[in-house]
Amino acid sequence: MKKNKCWVVKIGSALLTNNGKGIDKDLISEWVEQIVELQSHNIDVVLVSSGSIVEGMKRLGWKDKPTDIHKLQAAALLVKWG
Residue 40's pLDDT is what?
93
- More confidently predicted of 9 and 35: 35
Residue 82's pLDDT is what?
54
Q: How far apart are CA 66 and CA 6, in angstroms?
A: 33
Q: What pTM does this model have?
A: 0.58
Structure confidence by residue, pLDDT tens digits, 19-71:
778 788 898 899 999 999 999 999 998 877 777 788 888 889 999 999 998 88
Residue 30's pLDDT is what?
93
Give the length of the chain.
82
Distance from the first to the final alpha carbon of the chain = 40
Report H helices in the chain: 13-16, 25-40, 51-60, 69-81
Amino acid at residue number 48 = V
Q: How far apart are CA 82 and CA 61, in angstroms?
A: 14
18: CB partners within 8 A, 6+ apart:
24, 27
